[in-house]
Chain A
Amino acid sequence: MTASARESDRPRFDWLLALAVVAMLATFVRVAYFTPVEARQGLAQKIFYLHVPTAFIALYVAFAIVGLTSAMYLWLRDERLDRIAASAAEVGVVYMAVVLLTGPMWAKPIWGTWWTWDARLTLTLFAWFVFLGYLILRGAIEDESTRSRYSAVLGILGTLLVPFIHLSVYLFRTLHPMPILLKPSRPSLPNDMLLTFGMAFVALTLLFVALIRIRYRLAVTLDALGHEEAAEEARVGTLRPHPIR
């Protein structure tokens, strides 16, 4: 216990994070200087390279991780699985927030409105609420095993929910045709734009995994600290004699 806590105290070079940062910087340079400006939408369109991959990763990758690790936790009861789920949910919340912020940033200069109820943005909004609920649930439970169990149940149900929201939102859109405000995720892009998109996707995925790993390590340290405190309390507790009647 204490050994692993000390281990993560030692400053250790996070090569994954470094790689992710380098990839992000490279992508930024490419987006800003080496990718052509889109004809109709102008400069604002470049937010697309951040907005779309982030949405994909948050909605599908994050939920897949949370759903899978939650199911496996209920089966194996390994607390590491619970920590991965919690870390993925937290990073997922951040990524979704990025999507929800870049959406308006993209929409306003082009179409004059801050918020568009387009399918992907709406889906992200509801998925964000699910993840927020997940984190709030975790915060409301003191006992570890209850927290892990309840989170796992919510994680699985939330993952089941996403396709239903997807269906509802997209059905709403097809029946209430709105102008196609944001380009679909796999448009017919010219090659150099496609390459930039691919770079952005890889960089954001690397960053996602790096952040999860950092969050996971933090969880390990916090858990270890919590257990040391509890053990100390328990030791002190049993020394006190108890009167009998």
Chain B
Amino acid sequence: MIVRTPPGILAAAALIARKDLAIEFRTRSAFLAALTFSLVAIAIFYFAWDATAVGAVDLAPGVLWVIFTFSGLLGLHRSFGVEEADRAIDALLASPIDREAVFLGKAFANLAFVLGVQAVAIPAVALFYNLPLTRVLLPLTAIAVLAAIGLVSVGTLFSAMASNTRLAELLLPVLALPFFVPIVMPAAQVTARLLQGRPISEAMSWLRILIAFDIVFVVACALAFPFTLED
């Protein structure tokens, strides 16, 4: 018999994340769809809300973070779809890796996906709304990462459940959107203050909510994930 040492939880998660990203890169369709959706939506929102009546700087945070949630949802669905197609999930679960590694790996891949879309969407919003992006780029990136972590934890878990039900595509937004409230609210509030030129220290209470949400839900979702698997 071959001597084997199965990978530990983080190594296994990395394996799965790389595999998911390789698949996504091969087809690219979901990423392009999410990206296109973001850009079209940003453009439409610009004309839907008259930027002459209300300042662009006031509208932009809302637009940015609403689109963030919906484009994030678009990407999440394919996360477990690829496992369901030919029951590849059975092969994953029959292998010696930890179940939590499956969750972490998929969450990592989703995180890369969401941040990839944001890397284009945020500059696009800055462009269309004429925002002073360079001034706030660093803190805005930090918020984007924090928000993405929260979105991806809840979204990965719910997409695991939704992929197993009748209403899969419809169910994911219905379940997930209330959970995005403590992400979107702080993100939008902090972004607004940043764009108004206020120091980030003023928005610390909002940041604290976002960080606390991330910590609680990354742990809770990772622990809850094995319960979404049939046992």
List residues of A whose CB falls within 8 A of some B CB. Answer: 74, 126, 129-130, 132-133, 136-137, 140-142, 145-146, 149-150, 152-154, 156-158, 160-161, 164-165, 167-168, 171-172, 175
Contacts and interface: CB of A to CB of B under 8 A. Distances in A.
B178 interface: yes
A199 B210 CA distance: 39
A150 B171 CA distance: 13
Interface residues of B, number: 31
Contacts of B165: 137, 140-141, 150
B119 interface: no
A158 B174 CA distance: 13
B70 interface: no
A175 B206 CA distance: 11
Interface string B195-231: 0000000000110010011001100110010011010
A152 B212 CA distance: 23
Contacts of B4: none
A137 B166 CA distance: 9
A154 B175 contact: yes
Given A136-B171, A141-B166, A161-B182, 11 more contacts: A137-B175, A140-B166, A156-B224, A157-B157, A157-B217, A164-B182, A165-B181, A167-B209, A168-B185, A168-B186, A171-B206
A17 to B, nearest CB: 32
A149 B228 contact: yes
B179 A146 contact: no
B185 A150 contact: no
Contacts of A157: 154, 157, 179, 217, 220-221, 224
